[in-house]
Copies of this chain bind each other. A is one copy, B any other.
Amino acid sequence: MSVAVITYDRGMSRWEPDARGRLERAAMELFVERGFEQATVTEIAQRAGLTQRTFFRHFADKREVLFAGSAALQEFMVSAVASAPEDAAPIDAVAAALEGAAGVLQERREYSRRRMAVIAANPELQERELIKLARLASAIAAALRERGVPDPAASLAAEAGTTVFRIGIDRWHSEAVQRPLLDVIRDSLDDLKAVAAGT
């Protein structure tokens, strides 16, 4: 009896096992198959076996499926900068944030690769991605200033780090031999250091 009640409650309640993950996967499949513009929220919910209403409990619109993780990633990177050793150089505090983010993203390579392909095919999404990265750089620069790093060093380290992050992720997606994102980002940071040194 109590079991039946629990089942009934679940069916009627807002609880859906991994609804968010199912919606993300369904959305990405549809974006890849039919293009971002063509896919509708109705189809995404249907493909995930969920209602439109459940979709809107998790995402404001279909674009947000692609950008909902940005705020959490930014928060994570900002706190990594804040908690880097006190005597770390600005670029090393930023490197700690990039390495932490690499650990988080590592499990989602296929999702991340598809996401970038969808964004690359749509100018409006490219703009949104640019804005996201500009905000990330501003937030990291602010975290460096909190550590007592003056400008322009704070802005330069944050911008350079964000560039390394973006270029590192592109390489990670496209390299023929798959390597951990952490290694690719460390290589990209070394490449930046070499470029800046004029070699």
- Interfacial residues, chain A to chain B (CB-CB below 8 A): 89-92, 127, 130-131, 134, 152-153, 155-157, 159-160, 163-164, 167, 171, 188, 191-199
Q: How many copies does the complex hold?
A: 2
Please report whether the interface of chain A is mostly helix, strand, loop or mixed according to DSSP.
helix
Q: Which 8 A-B residue pairs are closest in the complex by CB-CB distance?
A: A196-B196, A89-B198, A159-B163, A157-B195, A156-B195, A193-B196, A156-B192, A130-B130
Choice from B156, B194, B197, B199 contacting A163 with Cβ under 8 Å: B156
A152 with B171: CB separation less than 8 A:
yes
A193 vs B194: C-alpha distance when bound (angstroms): 10
Q: Indicate if the CB atoms of B89 and A153 lie closer than 8 Å.
A: no
Which residue from B131, B160, B191 sits with its C-beta under 8 Å from A192?
B160
What is the CB-to-nearest-CB distance from A126 to chain B, in angstroms, rounded to a whole number?
8
Beyond known contacts A127-B127, A152-B171, A152-B188: 11 more, CB 8 A cutoff: A89-B199, A91-B195, A127-B130, A130-B130, A153-B191, A156-B192, A157-B195, A159-B163, A160-B195, A192-B196, A195-B196
